[in-house]
Amino acid sequence: MNDIPKHERRWASDTIPGKVTVSAGTSPGTESSSAGDEFVEVTLDLRDDDTIVLRSVEPANVISIDDSVAGSGYETPVSVPRSPSIRRNSSRGFRQFSQELKAEAVAKAKHFSQELRRFSWSHGQASRAFSSSSAQTGAGGSAGGGFETALAARALRKQRAQLDRTRSGAHKALRGLKFISSASKSNGVDAWNEVQKNFDRLAKDGFLHRIDFGQCIGMKDSKEFALELFDALGRKRRLKVDKINKEELFEFWSQITDQSFDSRLQIFFDMVDKNEDGRITEEEVKEIIMLSASANKLSRLKEQAEEYAALIMEELDPERLGYIELWQLETLLLQKDTYLNYSQALSYTSQALSQNLQGLRKKSPIHRMSRRFLYYLQENWKRLWLLTLWVCIMIGLFTWKFIQYKKKDVFHIMGYCLLTAKGAAETLKFNMALILLPVCRNTITWLRSTKLSYVVPFDDNINFHKTIAGAIVIGVILHVGDHLACDFPRLVSSSEADYQKYLKGVFGRQKPNYGDIIKGVEAVTGILMVTLMAIAFILATTWFRRNLIKLPKPFNKLTGFNAFWYSHHLFVIVYVLLIVHGVKLYLVHKWHLKTTWMYLAVPVLLYASERTLRLFRSGFYTVRLIKVAIYPGNVLTLQMSKPPQFRYKSGQYMFVQCPAVSPFEWHPFSITSSPGDDYLSVHIRQLGDWTQELKRVFSEACEPPVSGRSGLLRADETTKKSLPKLKIDGPYGAPAQDYRKYDVLLLVGLGIGATPFISILKDLLNNIIKMEELADSVSDTSRGSDLSVGSTDSPSLNKIAPKRKKILKTTNAYFYWVTREQGSFDWFKGVMNEVAELDQRGVIEMHNYLTSVYEEGDARSALITMVQALNHAKNGVDIVSGTRVRTHFARPNWKKVFSKMCSKHYSGRIGVFYCGAPVLAKELNKLCYEFNEKGPTKFEFHKEHF
């Protein structure tokens, strides 16, 4: 038995609940066995669906059970080794345990006694043949004997694989080998109708050419894979054609959408087995790996195809016959999950059912509406009370000014138009002052650390800034519109008698015409303000700021971040005009009644102070670049010295300025270094005009890669070319910095959106290391105190324990990173490896998702998944990311992620932090709402804003 190849034990390592270990002599059912019999330990999986899976057959030592147990009515001497602590001499507890376990094991084992007898006989014959052949070869036997040994060993493995294949295993593999994913998600008839439409569009003279086959069946992004599939289907029909008609296309379609696992497996095997000899060589495996890598845009995998082909052959062909057969490929598919255990999903707990069932219980419409309303209040009460206060202040100001002007003589001529204009003007003065406060970033960062953060949603400062801007637009429309289109025309058209009676002391003895009013200081400043504000507001919209609108040259310079940045500085002129406008009023002449400057004084001074502070601090925080690297995906990494006074928290961001690009522009970037690091680092992706120019400037300073290093453009302090200068300003507060409030974290980053969470992961890792060191010191201290009798060192231990809790409150962190490019993993490869190596307590769980690869289950990614599993099982490295963290394919099932977190952290308070595209933010926020309704586990959603 010892001659069985070691890799077989790997197949047996997948433990399943409910496994029963039965040790028997010849077979279950014999009454006794002589002392000379050889015993084997047969490990079986006894399933609820009356199927049996053989896991291992090994030599076993017999545990003798005394006569009282043997004569208890059980015919089969079955022994179940539980632990080394069980001794040969029996006891009362052991006898009772043995009787109960034997009753359950024998009842199921009898049902399969015939199968076991046949297997035991064949297993013994194959084992003896293998042993004798090995002995002959070792004694100088012929090469033919070695070949027969290999064939016998392979036959034994094939027999075992056939026993190991179960209905559930085949069903699992079926889900994992689909050529057309869309056909399974929609009605099969509809899918075929779509293929027919494509055929009618692409066919020429009633025939579909081979080159158009992929586009016809929905594989237009995997043309090479589709061509090989076409050839394999043709070989199966003994055809070698370059075009097919609709009937032949239907036959091809029926085969690739067949629900039979064996049929799909055979097609996949035929794609590899081009010479149709029923065997796959290492060269053919290499070709299919390169084909799969090309279909999934994995260029690095193509470069290592030869290495991974050898890995598959090593695993599936331990006998060194030089080929693998269909059943071996099937075995690898069925046992894929055994290798993927290194990155299992979140585990369920016994409370999972109660969490999910709460959402299934029927509730009345009134109860559902009340729960939703209460949840909405619970989630948004900070925003609601602040917005309510803001709206009430605006209503109060509007009403106060409306009533005030209604009592004036001018009301008799200009009417309610004037009252509305003046009420809107009062709200405009208030909002023009208030809109500066949310962008006073230093003040906001300081207020985050105060108790005011419990009642004020500082995370929404930018959203509040935009909301106020919307109110200003409405106020401008009311104020300017009423003046220009209503009360000024009413003044011009009023009778001379009414004018002399009510407005003589305002505009002079002679009634002005419309042109005279428009030429006045108040009207000119107002029109100029409206014009400048309109430019700034339009260029600040998402369409212009994010280059979503493509304009012809030279108007294309009106889009992008630069246009937004410079146009916003027009507000300096707007505020000057606003003060002049408020001083030169037509209807107010007393200085203490001209309140515009009173509204603006404090906010303008505060904002001006912040900008001045930024100016001086940027010069004070002198940094020197330590290292520069340009990664795939147009990502620039800047590592710089850390000023002694620069103290920050994980999750915060800072502003960066590069005078070589622009002496005025400052751009915010998340800090990716940990507070414990002795340097600062940021990762900048090329998304706009400024970042594009920044990358160009640093690319010119970088040196080409040298042999022995990665193919990245790099620069450091030893670089001959001088590096551009940088200025920094910050740090500034962000939602992610509050991660310490939660015991459990769900961190979700899309692409470059992973940057704010890298610092958090580093910080958590540093705290983990500190906790381990602290635990060691506590254990050493406690051992020392135990050695001294009557020691009074216990107070010192009490001082250490609270400090230990303070270091790391977070018990678990789950990081989900979704990216489209394989090269993105290079950005934080070192961090991921460090987390995987040092996080022995399992605090951090990392999940990488690569959306360019087809989802797990697609035939185009099936072989990649196999290679990925095998390589990690052998070398501990993921082939896609190059780290110890497994890379999943396609997009995460967020609903399943939330469900599993509910199960594992029942009744917990989970902080969900997201940075990325707004579309996913809506989905995550909605899921937080849905799962908060279902049960006691609470999710709190936070999105990064810059």
Chain segment 525-563, per-residue pLDDT in tens: 999 999 999 999 998 888 888 777 777 777 777 787 778
Residues 6+ apart with CB under 8 A from 551: 558, 559
Query: Which one, of 842, 682, 849, lies nearest residue 765 by Cα?
Result: 842
Query: Which one, of 506, 481, 512, 508, lies nearest residue 494 by Cα?
Result: 512
Q: Distance between CA atoms of 711 and 698, rounded to whole angstroms? A: 16
Write the pLDDT tens digit of every residue in 481-521: 988 888 888 888 888 888 887 777 677 777 888 888 888 88
In the predicted model, what is the mean pLDDT of residues 228-250? 82
The pair of three-digit structure tokens given for residue 255, joined into one six-digit string: 């085969």
Residues in a beta bridge with 943:
914
Write the pLDDT tens digit of every residue in 112-148: 444 434 433 333 443 444 444 444 444 444 455 677 7
In the predicted model, what is the mean pLDDT of residues 189-213? 85
Tell me, what's the pLDDT at 471?
Answer: 94
- Kindly list the domain boundaries of the chain, sorted by start residue: 624-733
Determine contact, residues 422/400, Cβ cutoff 8 Å. no
Percent of the chain's residues with pLDDT above 70 = 72
The most distant pair of C-alpha atoms in the chain lies apart, rounded to whole Å, by: 133
Let me know if domain 624-733 sits in CATH 3.30.70.2660: no
Residue 185 has pLDDT above 90, yes or no: no
In the predicted model, what is the mean pLDDT of residues 878-895? 86
> Nearest 5°: CA angle at 862, between 857 and 868?
115
Q: Distance between CA atoms of 443 and 445, rounded to whole angstroms? A: 5
- Cα-trace Rg, the chain: 38
The pair of three-digit structure tokens given for residue 327, joined into one six-digit string: 């059943």
Write the pLDDT tens digit of every residue in 389-428: 999 999 999 999 999 888 888 888 888 888 999 999 999 9
Residue 199 has pLDDT above 70, yes or no: yes
Q: Distance between CA atoms of 597 and 605, rounded to whole angstroms? A: 11
Residue 433 has pLDDT above 90, yes or no: yes
Q: b/e map of 260-290 (b: 16 or more CB within 10 Å)?
A: ebeebbbbbbbbbbeeeeebbbbebbbbbbb
Strands 208-209 and 243-244: antiparallel
In the predicted model, what is the mean pLDDT of residues 796-805? 40
The pair of three-digit structure tokens given for residue 91, joined into one six-digit string: 């006891």
Per the model's pLDDT, the better-predicted residue between 80 and 331 turns out to be 331
Query: Which one, of 920, 540, 850, lies nearest residue 943 by Cα?
Result: 920
Write the pLDDT tens digit of every residue in 161-178: 666 665 445 555 545 567
Residue 42, classified by CB atoms within 10 Å of its CB into exposed (0-12), middle (13-18) or buried (19+), is buried
Tell me, what's the pLDDT at 706?
Answer: 60
39 pLDDT band, cuts 50/70/90, is: low
Tell me, what's the pLDDT at 391?
Answer: 95
Chain centre distance of CA 886:
13
Per the model's pLDDT, the better-predicted residue between 273 and 800 turns out to be 273
Per the model's pLDDT, the better-predicted residue between 793 and 599 turns out to be 599
Determine contact, residues 326/881, Cβ cutoff 8 Å. no
Per the model's pLDDT, the better-predicted residue between 368 and 280 turns out to be 280
Q: Distance between CA atoms of 252 and 270, rounded to whole angstroms? A: 14
Residue 9 has pLDDT above 50, yes or no: no
Query: Which one, of 472, 491, 482, lies nearest residue 409 by Cα?
Result: 491
In the predicted model, what is the mean pLDDT of residues 241-270? 82
Q: Distance between CA atoms of 421 and 476, rounded to whole angstroms? A: 9
Query: Which one, of 19, 68, 65, 16, lies nearest residue 42 by Cα?
Result: 19
Q: 732 in the Ramachandran plot: left (φ > 0), alpha (ψ -120 to 50) or beta?
A: beta
Residue 270 has pLDDT above 80, yes or no: yes
Average confidence score pLDDT of the chain: 74
- The helix or strand, by DSSP H or E, that contains position 915, with its residue range, turns out to be strand 909-915
233 pLDDT band, cuts 50/70/90, is: confident
Q: Which of 58-62, 605-609, 730-734, 829-833 has the lowest mean pLDDT?
A: 58-62
Residues 6+ apart with CB under 8 A from 828: 672, 754, 758
890 to 591, 618, 758: CA distances (angstroms): 67, 43, 22
Q: Distance between CA atoms of 757 and 739, rounded to whole angstroms? A: 10
What is the residue-wise DSSP string for 784-845? Answer: HHHHSTT---HHHHHHHHHHHHHH----EEEEEEEES-GGGGGTTHHHHHHHHHH-TT--EE
Q: Distance between CA atoms of 615 and 624, rounded to whole angstroms? A: 18
Alpha-carbon torsion (139, 144, 147, 149), positive or negative: negative
Q: Distance between CA atoms of 53 and 408, rounded to whole angstroms? A: 95
Write the pLDDT tens digit of every residue in 289-304: 888 888 888 877 888 8
Which range in 389-393, 438-442, 852-856 is most confidently predicted, on average pLDDT? Answer: 389-393
Write the pLDDT tens digit of every residue in 614-664: 887 776 667 888 888 888 778 888 888 888 888 888 888 898 888 888 888
Residue 34 has pLDDT above 60, yes or no: no
Residues in a beta bridge with 914:
748, 943
Tell me, what's the pLDDT at 705?
Answer: 64
